Amino acid sequence: MARTRRSYNQYCGLASALDIIGERWTLLIVRELLLGPARYRDLLDSLPGIGTNLLAERLKFLAEQGVIRRAAGENERGYELTEHGERLREPVLQIAHWGLEHLGAPDEGQEVRPHWGFLAVQSMLDPSRAGDADECYEFRVDGTDFHIRVEGGRATAHEGRCEAPAMLAVTDARTFVEIGSGNLNPFMAVVSGRLSLDGDEECVQRAMALLGLIEGAEAPRKRSQEAVEAV
pLDDT computed for residue 222 by the predictor: 33
What tens digit of pLDDT does each residue of 48-84 get? Answer: 999 999 999 999 999 999 999 999 876 567 999 999 9
pLDDT computed for residue 225 by the predictor: 37
pLDDT computed for residue 4 by the predictor: 63
Residue 44 phi, psi dihedral angles, 5° rounding: -65, -40
Query: Each residue's pLDDT tens digit in the chain (231 positions)?
Result: 345 678 999 999 999 999 999 999 999 999 999 999 999 999 999 999 999 999 999 999 999 999 999 998 765 679 999 999 999 999 999 999 999 989 988 888 889 999 998 999 999 999 889 988 899 999 999 999 999 999 999 999 999 999 999 999 999 999 999 999 999 999 999 999 999 999 999 999 999 999 999 875 433 333 333 333 332
Question: Going edge to edge, which strands form the sheet with 167-171?
Answer: 154-159, 144-151, 135-141, 167-171, 195-199
Tally the residues of the chain.
Answer: 231
CA distance 101 to 119: 15
Residues sharing a CB contact under 8 Å with residue 216, sequence separation 6 or more, in sequence order:
209
CATH fold of 116-230: Nonspecific Lipid-transfer Protein; Chain A (3.30.1050)
The alpha-carbon radius of gyration of the chain (Å, integer) is 20
CA distance 211 to 206: 9
pLDDT computed for residue 220 by the predictor: 35
pLDDT computed for residue 174 by the predictor: 94
pLDDT computed for residue 75 by the predictor: 56
Helix locations, 66-185, DSSP H: 83-86, 89-100, 116-124, 173-180
CA distance 107 to 116: 17
Task: Tell me the domain boundaries of the chain.
Answer: 13-99, 116-230
DSSP calls for 56-95:
HHHHHHHHHTTSEEE--GGGTTEEEE-HHHHTTHHHHHHH
CATH fold of 13-99: Arc Repressor Mutant, subunit A (1.10.10)
Q: What value does the mean pLDDT of the chain take?
A: 88
Residues sharing a CB contact under 8 Å with residue 194, sequence separation 6 or more, in sequence order:
171, 172, 175, 184
Q: What is the pTM of this model?
A: 0.84
